[in-house]
Structure 1
Amino acid sequence: MNRTYNFNPGPAALPLEVLEQGRDSFVEYAGQGMSLMEMSHRSKPVERMIAETEELLLELIGLQGAGYRVLFMSGGASAQFALLAMNFLAAAKTGRYVLSGSFSEKAYEEALTVGAAEAIASGKTTGWARLPGIDEGLARFSVADTAYVHLTTNNTIEGSQFKEIPDTGGIPLIGDMTSDILSRQIEWRRFAMFYAGAQKNLGPAGVTAVVIREDLLAASAEAKIPAIFRYATYASNNSLYNTPPVHGIYMMKLMLEWTARQGGVAAMEARSAEKAALLYDAIDASGGFYAGIVERPYRSAMNATWRLPDETLEKAFVQEAQDAGFAGLAGHRSVGGIRASIYNGVPVEACSALAGFMNDFRKRRG
């Protein structure tokens, strides 16, 4: 099969090896005489698979035995925007948000429908071209009345990424890591909770991983909300309170095993840097034909974004790229331009081929 170079932002590229493993066990799982999708989620094979997936994720990020749980939930990061506020915004507390792009804004707006929320820093006045400074914002507010600080670590639409994780001084830090989880080594323990929709670095769409510290689980248990919305409910039932997206979790397990075989997060980080450099070098060497949307210090290693001299050329670029076997390069509809999402499942060869296409297109159209 001639596979397309897949730069879609999510659902995104998965390694062929993982897809083939999923295919080979699709009809029958673990000698059970039926597909995993047909089994009771209360059965021992499913319970064991979910427990192993939790252990694998904690092991990859070095949090095994550190007082964290992994919950497998539905609704993507968008559901987490509401759920985290519902669980942790008590009457006398305020959620503090760092606004660095469209999805962080959505998280903030969702919190406002639940309780008190405040933006402590924003990069919107720069058109999201740079990330806001956080330290000054953190120094402005009272620790006593702060429920949590929320940070989107990588901005999928705009193409920016926080390189350093702030120290919030004991205030729970909650991270949306949907588009860069497992792509780099960070100070995971600075987070009281982080979450990620699977469809970028963890597997297929349909399941969300929530990594949460046990003290926050205790706070969640006290929330006056329906049981199905409490993190504590998922933890006490090992993500089996209701029927979970079983096959999506299984595919995540395969993806985590693949990540471990590649050398773990450290290897993913080195590979991400190599892939990003190929594209950014093509942009920076173009003499202005390609213009990065985000200022250089803030560029994402997961989502490279750029513009061409005009929209007509951008449309031609996307069409010619599609014809040449490159998929998913149109920028988000809210911002336009070009975007190449280079998650863990995207091979280095795909970025090398795209950089070659960029250079060729510039020579022909510049």
Structure 2
Amino acid sequence: MRTALAAAAEDVIIYDLDGIGRQYTDLCAELPGLAVRFAMKACPVGEVLDHLARLGSGFDAASPQEIVEALRTGVAPESIHYGNTVKSDRNIAEAYRMGVRDFATDSVEDVTAIAEHAPGSSVFCRIATTGHGALWGLSHKFGCSPEDALRVLVAARTSGLVPSGLSVHVGSQQMTAEAWGEAIRTLAALLETLNRHGIVPDRINLGGGLPALGALDRRGRPLEPPLDKMFAVIREGMERLRAVNAAPLGFLLEPGRHLVADHGAIRAHVARLTSRHRLDGNREDWLYLSCGKFNGLYEMDQLQYRLEFPNRPDGQFVNAVVAGPTCDSDDAYAQDGTVRVPRTITSGDPVWVHSCGAYAAAYATQGFNGFSPLPYRCVGGAAPESEGA
């Protein structure tokens, strides 16, 4: 990784395929018997998808175009889960045409559309969670109540679909093990209710939410999620859910950032270090980078990426707000936190932005303010180094 970064003359995202592969293997070892469906939205880079497919991963897709990309890796359609509860009739029909038969849902209206355009398919009803403890809660747009879930799955059975399972998502970058425990308690109670109504799911999708470890919080402190405890709660929860269901249960997981975030880095450069007084009279230093919210660092409103300045390892430092190059005021770290940067840094100095492998490529615009999306380079893995844009 460091060699590839040092050799890069221009800004570039580097993905470490070997690191991603190790993360996948470690996850499978921690949660044996659980099928992985990589959340493609976290890193829709062809070489990353290919590498995960070679290791045995399936995919969680949110659109027909993501299904196309998943199939391109050679995985079978049954290893692809259409995990987006927001789908048009056209989306459903296209996914069905490509062989996908697993659909997430959270409403009777969506079930009716799936029954019409993807007859006989399996549906997972997504249950809403509070999102407490996560950097991004995901608690409003997706998921229904347990009471609605019963109606949704009864409607699925009545319309000729297979009421195959339940799914949850405890929030992106979840920082507590209790979130998993709460979700599993909800799922267990709902399984008992469904069984009483003659609906016996055969799979549970535990969704995404597993955290990455390398970023910092908004004030620059290390994120320290209790990952080992999370795995223990999930393992215990899987056994509990198997015990309450009237038939054997399989389990799916849809990790995204957990697999890729800490194995991606951007080789950027300094635009300018400035100092100015605010209206309240206090002086404030700003470090402007060549990349920001709209070309690689979309999540800077909720976390800080670790920065490394290879040309200026020693000397005096200042605490600066970090911002991207555009003239959008949201293109900056949340201003309740600053970053320690070398006082002598100058325009053009290289900067390594670490732990940004999740969503760096996915959220990039097509050139907001004329700042182009970053190209990427993949290193390691079974294939030789490759480059893309």
Structure 1 length normalisation: TM-score? 0.30
**More RCO (CA 8 Å, sep 6+):** 1
Higher helix share: 1
